[in-house]
Structure 1
Amino acid sequence: MTQKLLTFLTLFLTSFLFSQTVVINEIDADTPGSDTLEFIELKSFDAGGVALPNYSLDGYVLVFYNGANDWVYRTIDLDGFVTDINGIIHFGNSAVSPSPAATIPPNGIQNGPEVVAIYNGNATDFPIDTATIDLPNLIDAIAYSNNTTQPTSLMTSLGISVFMNENANGLKDTQSIQRKNDGSYEVKNSTPGVNNDGSGVVLNYITVSTAQPSYTEGDSFNIVFTTSQPVQNETLIMNFSLTNGNFSVGDFSGGLTVSIPVGQTTTQTAITLYDDSSDEGDEEALFQFATLPTGYVANNDNFIIRVYDINFATDPWGTPLNPTFGLCPPQIPTGYYDTLEGLSGVALKQELQNIINNGVRAQSYGDVWDILKDADRNPENNNQVWQIYTEGVKSKLDQQVGSSGSGFYQREHIWPQSRGGFSDGTSSFADGIDVWLPSNANDILAGHSDAHHIRAVDGDENNSRSNRDYGVDYNGPTGNTGSWHGDVARALFFMAVRYNGLDVVNGNPVDSTVGQMGDLATLLSWNTSDPADDFEMNRNNVIYDWQMNRNPFIDYPLLADYIFGANFGDTWSFSLSNESFTENSIKVYPNPTTDYVMIDGVEGTAKVEIYNLTGQKVVSKDFENQIRLDIDLASGVYFVKVKQQAKEITKKIIVR
């Protein structure tokens, strides 16, 4: 057989196989909030343009292009997928209803200007982060955005002219781009999983619900199944699973098969979560339907049921809101700071830099997740992380995935990336504690993953803080008590010593200024008013295990005044931090309190003064050694100042 004949037969067979085609029927890329309702819908047609039901998508691949660089950013291999009785199938976020055939992470479909295309091929033919285009196998494509900007380069490369603005009616959050029966497109209210014109077979949708989105080990709950129409012809039998990762059939009891008789619309099954008496961490059950009978569609599927472990570990120290001191010993290597003795001014700062750069290990940004899960663990429940600024907790399972923000915790750079000159300076791949690179004071890119200034933070609040200075500009969300004030001050002091080119200055530098952070006066004040506690000391210990350097301003907060403050130029001696009248020796408790405070740890005569947030003195009393001070103060945050001769210490308390 000649090569010419082979070529003819190949073209003939290809034409025959794909005279039946698949098109992009609807796309909704820009949805409310953090984009959790995105989807893309496909439709199959026969050669005459009539919807083709139950059509196999084997041999097709869906490719998403980034219009900024013409690169592939996502693919969905369509092998194994089949369109429904109306020729429809859609893929999208797990919150999309009816449930998508496969899920795409929130914010996983970019808003534009972009292109999405269907090819005859496989996902492996279109590697991520490449500009791969295969025109001979292109089946359908559409360019879109949430504004009028077009991805002109991609459109030219793909030979397409169709571009749609999802925000054409100013309603991008509720409307989508939809294909009409004549092949043109329009923008109107989203219609996932059904024909855009409302025609076709009306399917019976199954909605699955639980009373709560989360439960604790030992709880029992019902899973309820409801159909949109009464069951007809024969009993509806549904099978499902709950296993997911470490959550297995050994973690619960209950039936995984349910049925709804003819004429009925609902049923339920009881699930009991076992208390296995071991700390496995919080887990997530994943509800998934098995194949449903023809004519039935899952209105929701692939959703998570959170399972909190009742057997969590705790630490003996308090949270930043209820701080303790002296319960978490500093794990300072012998002689680590000895060379600072007797130094002052520039020489003191230089030697401090030498110490924290000696043998330091730069870890990856991916490793920071693991560091934070240990360093920022909630002392009251080690399956959670403590979030700076908002002063609350989240399960370690609520780690940010991709660009997800709301409802998740993120990695907050105390020294913003853009103002440090280390944006994206290290790998996002987590390679573990034993894989690292050597670093030094000039290695500014290592600041990108330096855990001494990275904290777990609520995603929404992370956006609010942005890259602003503390104090003069940013003071946290409304109602916060400032339990993090000293923490951020000491983190910034560390960065300004660890890396050449970084400095903490007075005032509020322009937020685009690289290498400077303010407000030094406020930071020095915060270093005193919010002293280093056990939570912060534990962070220091954990991070040392990874990076082999410590934050000296946690170990010796007084150093800040000798490097950045009023004592610059004075000679440093460790005897300054070993006197009996120190932050750690003076105890003010209980905290929070209601009608009294105890002050302990003083040797000799002293004075206590209490100030409100406006700086007004509301209590003053002399005492000796120890005092129980009865107070009658309105609820709020106060500062307790203990004075002895020329020395004074300030503690923060909360009155309820």
Structure 2
Amino acid sequence: MFKKILLTSTLLLSNFIFSQIVINEVDADNPSTDTEEFIELKSSTPNFTLDGYVLVLYNAGSSAPYSGNLSYYTIDLDGYVTDINGIIHVGNSGVSPAPAGVIPNSSIQNGPDVVALYLGNDIDFPLDTPATATNLIDAVAYSNSPSKTPTNLMTILGITACSIDNATANSIQRKNDGTYEVKLPTPGMNNDGTGIPITRINITTSVDEVDEGNSFTITFTANMVIAGTDLNFTYVLDNGNFDSADFTGDLNVTIPVGQTTVVKTIQLLNDGINEDDEELKIYVETVPSGYMMNRNNVKVRVHDANFIVQPWGTPLNPTYGIVSSTAPAGYYSSINGLSGASLKQALQDIIADPNVVHAHTYGDVEFILKESDVNPLNSSQVWLMYVEQPKSKLDYQTGNTNIGVWNREHIFPQSRGGFQDGTSSFADGINVWLPTSANDLLAGHGDAHHIRAEDGVENSFRSNKNYGTEYNGPTGNAGSWKGDVARALFYMAVRYNGLNVINGNPSETPTGNIGDLATLLQWHQQDPPDDFEMNRNNYIYTWQLNRNPFIDNPDLASYIFGSNIGQPYTLGNENFETSKVVVYPNPTTDYIVIAGIEAEAKAEIYSITGQKIKEASFTNEITLSVSDVTAGVYLVKIFSENSSIVRKIIVK
């Protein structure tokens, strides 16, 4: 009985969905450079919201870069609404009337192909997704040749007919009986010529991005000459923190009878305050009867002119010794002289102390990253780790698509760590926290020491791959993130019971393991902690009240995971660790100066592969010649009073 009820409900829901929205017209344009392509949808009721729908374009051919029966383009329809006639179209900017959504020229292939409408989002259909009938609402098969039809795609999607459009001037249009015909295009209107006549108003801007203090223009354009009486309406620009105090300009619009266009100039004001980038939103609330806003809610990015530049470098152009550790005196004193399991346990007792350490939510991490991962060259941006580039804080992912946005990357993947969705996505701030301990594995879900700002698409591609054996970053990547990753994983393996960094390429199950340890130890040596990473460690400490010890004391890694396992660890003089030891000039061609030490010291220079090429003893300061050294990246290790630090230098 239950199965019958479920089946009946499913069929009713399916029929209801199909009656609500269909693909009404497709124009692939056909010339070699297509400029008037569009896809039109029609709803059975006017003003139908398309939230939760997506258009997917499938290629039936096998030529590169696409293979047969796979997706090649998606158009997410969230935010779109059909008009009073139930019509909406998306297409190239050259389509008239202007489409509600603009796609690049030549986006729609000439066929044999299929356009399909689904319940879902573009993130559900990445490039080369196999065709599927799951959640399919409607689909249209088409070709520019009668001898070529997308037969396999039609079978998969349940399509029984293929329309042939082999003329530039035609489009494929749905008739009232549900079949399709080919005739002259009718974008933005009913295919049978019925419906309420609508004058559409489109918004365009002179720029998509503008610096604070500059001006730009907004153009309001009607798709036909205004008749009868002047068209009058108002618009607003307010959006979030952007309000009337941020600009001057006329917000009243009049398009006179006999005209189609009016232009408004907006002057942005420089308020002299660092408040990060903002977005203004051009929005017309109402227009007179018989008119429709064809493109509304148009956003313009406003770059803050008062961003802060820090004295330290990005991970791609790192600096060393400018940012000092803010660890309190004696923070690591309890590990001095210990070895093996005792050393690891003592370190865990510090960074997982239930009487001190705070656990925060995954929602809080968004706001932590906007400070901890800020681009040193522009405080309006965050630095994206794997792709090694900045991104505006405004571009944080809030919807279902990860394209063109940044999000939160778990360096120890959630699925491997066993803490998937372990904390709330609600941000409750620095002053609200939960107690935690070494056994509180779920807190790893919101532990900022192993979560970084990252490009959304790259984050998805990285997934839960092991490092070194499976994932080494984007092609051509400089690898400025590799040491950071190693130290984050070392931290996790000490902070939480049940997490391990091991050799090889461990599988996802059982949970708790990630590799490759040998690679990560090498990355840790080749990419030592820089000022960006130390600043990050310092900021996260203000929230979580624990630190990543492998940033503060890089040599700890070899005593817990590497070649010095079992040997006593000597902490030495902590004041030396945080002193202003400098190595300059950097980059250099002839020499380096090591200064900032008020004691006897020793310096060793290593190649990136670990070969010692120079060493010298000195007191207080020394100048070392590197004129005989091959151009490249080198590590300078400085010892003093049983302590050591590492600085990276570049020899040109």
TM (norm. structure 2) is 0.71
The corresponding residue for 1:270 is 265
Q: CA deviation at 1:393?
A: 1.2
Q: CA deviation at 1:146?
A: 8.8
Deviates more, 1:621-630 or 1:320-329: 621-630
C-alpha spacing 1:268/1:146, structure 2 compared with 1 (3 Å): farther
Q: CA deviation at 1:524?
A: 1.6
CA deviations over 1:488-544 (Å, ceiling 9, x no partner)? 111000001111121111222235662212221222222222222222222222222
The corresponding residue for 1:348 is 343
CA deviations over 1:4-43 (Å, ceiling 9, x no partner)? xxxxxxxxxxxxxxxxxx9523369xxxxxxxx9997533
Q: CA deviation at 1:202?
A: 6.0
Alignment partner of 1:450 is 2:447: yes
What amino acid maps onto 2:552 in structure 1? D
Deviates more, 1:343-352 or 1:646-655: 646-655
The corresponding residue for 1:88 is 86
Partner SS state of residue 509, structure 1: coil
Alignment partner of 1:502 is 2:484: no
The corresponding residue for 1:421 is 418
Q: CA deviation at 1:305?
A: 0.6
The corresponding residue for 2:294 is 299
What amino acid maps onto 1:498 in structure 2? R
Aligned equivalents of 1:556 and 1:38: distance in 2?
59
C-alpha spacing 1:643/1:364, structure 2 compared with 1 (3 Å): closer
Q: Is the 8 A contact 2:235 2:284 kept in 1?
A: yes
What amino acid maps onto 2:267 in structure 1? T
Q: CA deviation at 1:638?
A: 2.5
C-alpha spacing 1:424/1:230, structure 2 compared with 1 (3 Å): same
Give me the identity figure in percent. Answer: 47
Aligned equivalents of 2:293 and 2:49: distance in 1?
24
The corresponding residue for 2:365 is 368
Q: CA deviation at 1:401?
A: 0.9
CA deviations over 1:545-575 (Å, ceiling 9, x no partner)? 2222211111211111111111111111211
What amino acid maps onto 1:481 in structure 2? A
Alignment partner of 1:627 is 2:628: no
C-alpha spacing 1:178/1:639, structure 2 compared with 1 (3 Å): farther
The corresponding residue for 2:43 is 42
Q: CA deviation at 1:206?
A: 3.1
Alignment partner of 1:253 is 2:248: yes
Alignment partner of 1:25 is 2:21: yes
Alignment partner of 1:281 is 2:276: yes
Partner SS state of residue 241, structure 1: coil
Structure 2, gaps ≥5 residues long: 1-17, 25-37, 55-77, 102-115, 122-128, 143-149, 158-162, 164-170
Partner SS state of residue 289, structure 1: coil
Partner SS state of residue 366, structure 1: helix
Aligned equivalents of 1:191 and 1:550: distance in 2?
63
C-alpha spacing 1:92/1:264, structure 2 compared with 1 (3 Å): closer
Alignment partner of 1:432 is 2:429: yes
Q: CA deviation at 1:248?
A: 0.8
Partner SS state of residue 232, structure 2: strand
Pick the aligned partner of 2:219 from 209, 217, 224. 224
What amino acid maps onto 1:207 in structure 2? N
Q: CA deviation at 1:240?
A: 1.7
C-alpha spacing 1:344/1:628, structure 2 compared with 1 (3 Å): closer
The corresponding residue for 1:290 is 285
Aligned equivalents of 1:331 and 1:378: distance in 2?
20
Q: Is the 8 A contact 1:361 1:546 kept in 2?
A: yes
The corresponding residue for 2:328 is 333
The corresponding residue for 2:568 is 571
Q: Is the 8 A contact 2:90 2:99 kept in 1?
A: no
Partner SS state of residue 283, structure 2: strand
Structure 1 residues 451-466: aligned runs within 5 Å: 451-466=448-463
Alignment partner of 1:377 is 2:357: no
The corresponding residue for 2:393 is 396
The corresponding residue for 1:208 is 203
What amino acid maps onto 1:88 in structure 2? G
Pick the aligned partner of 1:598 from 588, 592, 613. 592
What amino acid maps onto 1:343 in structure 2? L
Structure 1, gaps ≥5 residues long: 1-21, 29-36, 45-54, 67-75, 101-110, 117-144, 152-161
Structure 1 residues 144-223: aligned runs within 5 Å: 147-150=131-134, 164-165=138-139, 170=153, 180-182=175-177, 193-195=188-190, 200=195, 203-223=198-218
What amino acid maps onto 1:240 in structure 2? Y
Q: Is the 8 A contact 1:24 1:40 kept in 2?
A: no
Q: Is the 8 A contact 2:537 2:547 kept in 1?
A: yes
Aligned equivalents of 1:459 and 1:26: distance in 2?
31
Aligned equivalents of 2:118 and 2:333: distance in 1?
58
Aligned equivalents of 2:611 and 2:335: distance in 1?
38
C-alpha spacing 1:83/1:533, structure 2 compared with 1 (3 Å): closer
Partner SS state of residue 267, structure 1: strand
Aligned equivalents of 1:279 and 1:346: distance in 2?
48
Q: CA deviation at 1:219?
A: 0.6
Partner SS state of residue 452, structure 1: helix
Q: Is the 8 A contact 1:529 1:651 kept in 2?
A: no
Aligned equivalents of 2:205 and 2:624: distance in 1?
51
Aligned equivalents of 2:584 and 2:231: distance in 1?
63
Q: Over the residues paired in the alignment, what is the CA RMSD in angstroms?
A: 4.6
Aligned equivalents of 1:532 and 1:82: distance in 2?
54
Aligned equivalents of 2:592 and 2:374: distance in 1?
29
TM (norm. structure 1) is 0.71
Aligned equivalents of 1:506 and 1:651: distance in 2?
27
Aligned equivalents of 1:633 and 1:270: distance in 2?
59
Q: CA deviation at 1:620?
A: 6.9
Q: Is the 8 A contact 1:528 1:650 kept in 2?
A: no
CA deviations over 1:348-405 (Å, ceiling 9, x no partner)? 1112112211123221111110111121122232222111122221121111113221
Q: Is the 8 A contact 1:178 1:188 kept in 2?
A: yes
Q: Is the 8 A contact 1:25 1:179 kept in 2?
A: no
Q: Is the 8 A contact 1:414 1:453 kept in 2?
A: yes
Aligned length: 545
C-alpha spacing 1:585/1:568, structure 2 compared with 1 (3 Å): farther
What amino acid maps onto 1:306 in structure 2? R
